[in-house]
Structure 1
Amino acid sequence: MTALMIQGTGSNVGKSMLVAGLCRAAVIRGLSVAPFKPQNMSNNAAVTVDGGEIGRAQALQAMASGLEPHTDMNPVLLKPETDVGSQVVVQGKRLTTVKAREYSALKPSLMAPVLDSFNRLQARHDLVLVEGAGSPAEVNLRPGDIANMGFARAADCPVVLAGDIDRGGVIAQIVGTQAVIDPNDADVIRGFLINRFRGDPSLFDDGYALIEQHTGWRGFGVVPWFGDAWKLPAEDALDIATPVRAGGLHIVCLKLSRIANFDDLDPLAQEPGVRLTMLHAGQPLPADTDVVIIPGSKSTRGDLQFIKDQGWDEDVRAHVRRGGHVLGICGGFQMLGRVVDDPDGIEGPAGHTPGIGLLDVDTVMSDDKRLTTVDAVHVPSGQGFQGYEIHIGRSDGPDRARPFAQVAGEDEGAISADGRVAGSYLHGMFRDDGFRRAWLGGFGISGGTASYSDTVATTLDALADHLEAHLDIDALLACAR
């Protein structure tokens, strides 16, 4: 019953990927290992085997560990709904929605469920690999902290600090972290590692030695850039990467301001016959677009206004008039209707917002959140697939008479009378190889033969090999306590 925590010198330094690779390396060593992140902030969530939700990164780490995702792996999940407020999910269930200042007051009360989940994982596994959030150098957030040193100290969990050399200033990142944190927190750190080095790592030998000299911490290695990282689900929308291709079916996804569960698109990005474009704010819809996908959102009405602010609503309607196709997933499905009504202010101020108007359905938000995995059948193709629901609100109207899918004998989603516009609440559909090929076949595209889950598994193996080649993993795991 041991644990080790990977903290970072900042956000997005590769902590999630490092923990996933270390989980896989531990499994290969014959250990029973589980991932854990005390507090995560992400709108990219996964439904768990116990009927809750956790951050998508912990679901990937669970896969790397050979486990089903469980709410204990991420007991506190913050899902931003506005620039100043987030939904707080505790052990898989929505607790409340708070503003940032209010969360500071709430945070200390969450240490108990965090330690409760951590202790359960420790009791069931040989090793728990913990991922921090943000950086311990954010000392203004240290009071009541449950994400970094506050947790590490409370759980008596040793820490290894990861710095990202690709963004520059890695010496200052690590030495500066030691300089600003409390000395008692610094005593918890067992060493450091350097992530995302491009080129010859030996060129950094002097810098590496300098860090050791200034901090007194030992180094565990320099990890070169892992080129296949794009094949693994990204948790941060800033990390969405798509291969550059010429030709093929051009699918354009609107990159919403509160985009959620955008890993729905990952399997499409890996299809050789598909060119996937993430459309950023201020960019017009490309003229050669074949299919527009409007993804999930943590703030449906807010992102509906965001779409209108970009002029994308007019672009999408013109795209359909030219014979193009549109698929809305979850929040995207709601936006495609006539109106989104939130009478009780579930997602923000109460009110209603006119939709894009391409589906004859209306949506009413409610406090009843649906979290479940499903077996479904795609009605147009007859292809079965597995997916999951994670949403609030119900949509109804005449276009529901033409369902997108059947779930347990019930109609799900909607399709327009001309068949060009479809909406569904089901996430994860494209991860099902059979469905993905059937859906692409509807556009005359022959899907590839690769299995998406096999690709992810193979990439995790390659990531573990990559870390084994460049880190002293035996020494690193020996720090676990």
Structure 2
Amino acid sequence: MGALMLQGTGSDVGKSVLVAALCRALANRGLSVRPFKPQNMSNNAAVTADGGEIGRAQATQAMACRVPPSVDMNPVLLKPEGDRTSQIIVRGRVRGKLEAGRWREGRIGLLDEVLESYRTLRAQCDIVVVEGAGSPAEINLRAGDIANMGFARAAGVPVILVGDIDRGGVIASLVGTNTVIDPEDVAMIRGFLVNKFRGDPALFAGGMIAIEERTGWPGFGLIPWLAPAFRLPSEDAVILERARPAGERRLVIACPITPRIANFDDLDPLRLEPGIDVVMVPPGQPIPDAALIILAGSKATTADLLFLRDQQWDVDIIAHHRKGRPVLGLCGGYQMLGRSVADPDGVEGPPREVPGLGLLDVTTILTGDKTVRQVSGEALSAPFTGYEIHLGETEGPDRQRPLCTLDGRPEGATSADGLVAGSYVHGLLGLAAQRRAWLARIGIDSTGPDHHADIDAALDELAAAFEQHVDVDALIALAQTAQ
């Protein structure tokens, strides 16, 4: 039938959520739908059934379409390892590292692979819903672009431009995009959406008209603030900057925010529990008094371990343990809990060995071979499903007390006192039974649902709101004009 692309006036305007909402709305109408993002940048990755990596948002969008995620849904994924270096994943597999200053030449040839993935999806369904990255108004990045207008023009996909009214200046951002981009790119944009509106829609009726008059684009909808969006897995670390402080009379689970924190959506299921405050601790602040500390994954474990010490969070974590309170490390956080992390070949940065927190009697050696797979098993006598995505091997005496039984084999480690545990499993806390077992250790009776079920319900709520405030019939008609 066709395809439609949602681009934004900037990052974090809500493109990922709106693509998910539209995908579920179309699926609910009985259409076969696939999500697609040509190029993504995120350290929150998901794992496909064949062991490939894609952005977390595309996995959620696949769920919105009620289909399994595939590597074709996000053919190019950049995973930042430092301020100027990223690991590049192409069609689910590591292709190498890329310096920021060499990105233009590094993406040469990638457009052909992006288009191949897109055509694969087009052959599978009625409509492909495409998500852009950043903004087409970043005209300094236009040459060789594969994420926004470079893709849209090469594939012949019509574009809807999304503006965020909550951050202010939405008229200027939409009209300004029309002004600064190339006229042939302007011609690809067939309309706009205004997202995250609060209040009486009548108050912005004049604003919608002003945008239409100055751009020539029709407005397809004014979308209210969508509260269910906060129940979807987080992909962008921007959300960590808005982490709320702990509330009163609730137990705190704390997680420090390191510069290369990854797959921090592992903590999202805990937010379903009414007796819990999940506190993401920003740099410059001590870890608060907590019932449980969780160390999340990392894209650069040795660098984040050094940062953790620089913030004196190691002192807070050790003091927490001395009080007889539990600590859980996931993936890179598991590695940090050991006696040392060695990177002899410079896999994640300069070759070095960094002392760990010493709370688990294990050591880790980082190697170039990446483990990427979906898994299931049991921990604390409760089931779980999840995935592994990590570099390195961890060994030592505490591995004799595995945390998990993973597809029939022991996995992870537990300290002799039983207070400290680590695992390479992401998604460990998603099933209610597994989360209930962990929370029982800190005196909480878990009442939250399975995380997957809650996400599915949130997607239906988002789709209903999208149908109410957006002309979906017009979007379907527009999608049919794709080449």
Normalised by the length of structure 2, the TM-score is: 0.97
Distance 2:455 2:386 in 1: 17
Matched, 1:341 2:345: no
Provide the secondary structure at the position in 1 that maps to 2:109: helix
- Give deviations 1:283-336, integer Å, cap 9, x for gaps: 1111x3111000001110111111111110111011111112110000000011
Distance 1:104 1:349 in 2: 25
**Structure 1 position 101, deviation (Å):** 1.4
Distance 2:257 2:464 in 1: 33
**Structure 1 position 440, deviation (Å):** 1.3
Counterpart in the other structure of 1:306: 307
Counterpart in the other structure of 2:132: 132
**Structure 1 position 200, deviation (Å):** 1.1
**Structure 1 position 19, deviation (Å):** 0.1
1:80 partner amino acid: P
1:315 partner amino acid: D
1:276 partner amino acid: V
Distance 1:154 1:78 in 2: 21
Q: Verify the 8 A CA contact 1:36 1:72 in the aligned structure 2.
A: yes
2:253 to 238, 251, 257: 251
Q: Verify the 8 A CA contact 2:23 2:33 in the aligned structure 1.
A: yes
Distance 1:385 1:467 in 2: 33
Distance 1:395 1:179 in 2: 54
1:261 partner amino acid: N
**Structure 1 position 245, deviation (Å):** 4.0
1:72-111 to structure 2, matched below 5 A, reads 72-111=72-111
Distance 1:189 1:248 in 2: 48
Counterpart in the other structure of 1:426: 425
1:10-21 to structure 2, matched below 5 A, reads 10-21=10-21
1:200-219 to structure 2, matched below 5 A, reads 200-219=200-219
- Give deviations 1:80-139, integer Å, cap 9, x for gaps: 000001000000000011111112111121111100100000000000000000000001
Distance 2:471 2:356 in 1: 54
Change (3 A) 1:302 1:449: closer
Change (3 A) 1:384 1:450: closer
Provide the secondary structure at the position in 2 that maps to 1:263: helix
Q: Verify the 8 A CA contact 1:8 1:15 in the aligned structure 2.
A: yes
Counterpart in the other structure of 1:370: 371
**Structure 1 position 446, deviation (Å):** 1.1
1:333 partner amino acid: Y
2:190 partner amino acid: R
Provide the secondary structure at the position in 2 that maps to 1:356: coil
Distance 1:29 1:423 in 2: 44
Distance 1:108 1:97 in 2: 14
Kindly tell me the number of residue pairs found equivalent between the two proteins: 478
Q: Verify the 8 A CA contact 1:273 1:448 in the aligned structure 2.
A: no
Counterpart in the other structure of 1:445: 444
2:197 partner amino acid: F
1:228-377 to structure 2, matched below 5 A, reads 228-240=228-240, 245-286=247-288, 288-377=289-378
Distance 2:298 2:422 in 1: 14
Provide the secondary structure at the position in 2 that maps to 1:365: strand
Distance 2:321 2:387 in 1: 28
**Structure 1 position 401, deviation (Å):** 1.1
Provide the secondary structure at the position in 1 that maps to 2:350: coil
1:429 partner amino acid: L
Provide the secondary structure at the position in 2 that maps to 1:478: helix
Distance 2:71 2:408 in 1: 29
Provide the secondary structure at the position in 2 that maps to 1:124: coil
Counterpart in the other structure of 2:406: 407
Distance 2:451 2:425 in 1: 18
Distance 1:204 1:397 in 2: 62
Which ranges of structure 2 fall in alignment gaps of 5 or more residues? Answer: none
- Give deviations 1:327-357, integer Å, cap 9, x for gaps: 0000000011111100110001111111111
Distance 1:7 1:238 in 2: 18
Q: Percent identity between the aligned chains?
A: 57
Distance 2:290 2:307 in 1: 20
- Give deviations 1:176-214, integer Å, cap 9, x for gaps: 101111101110110111000111121111111111001
1:130 partner amino acid: V
Q: Verify the 8 A CA contact 1:108 1:146 in the aligned structure 2.
A: no
Change (3 A) 1:27 1:211: same
2:156 partner amino acid: D
Distance 2:41 2:48 in 1: 17
**Segment of structure 1 superposing worse, 25-34 or 104-113:** 104-113
2:285 partner amino acid: Q
Q: Verify the 8 A CA contact 1:243 1:269 in the aligned structure 2.
A: no
Distance 2:62 2:131 in 1: 13
Q: Verify the 8 A CA contact 1:246 1:275 in the aligned structure 2.
A: no
Q: Verify the 8 A CA contact 1:247 1:275 in the aligned structure 2.
A: no
Provide the secondary structure at the position in 2 that maps to 1:479: helix
Distance 1:392 1:83 in 2: 20
Normalised by the length of structure 1, the TM-score is: 0.97
Q: Verify the 8 A CA contact 2:292 2:442 in the aligned structure 1.
A: no
Counterpart in the other structure of 1:470: 469
Distance 2:218 2:253 in 1: 47
Counterpart in the other structure of 1:22: 22
Provide the secondary structure at the position in 1 that maps to 2:384: strand
2:317 partner amino acid: V
**Structure 1 position 244, deviation (Å):** 5.9
Provide the secondary structure at the position in 2 that maps to 1:108: coil
**Structure 1 position 243, deviation (Å):** 8.9
Distance 1:435 1:211 in 2: 50
2:184 partner amino acid: N
2:312 partner amino acid: G
Counterpart in the other structure of 2:176: 176
Distance 2:198 2:354 in 1: 47
Distance 1:242 1:440 in 2: 21
Provide the secondary structure at the position in 2 that maps to 1:213: helix
Which ranges of structure 1 fall in alignment gaps of 5 or more residues? Answer: none
Change (3 A) 1:243 1:321: closer
1:443 partner amino acid: I
Distance 1:311 1:15 in 2: 37
Counterpart in the other structure of 1:161: 161
**Structure 1 position 442, deviation (Å):** 2.4
Distance 1:277 1:407 in 2: 29
**Structure 1 position 449, deviation (Å):** 4.8
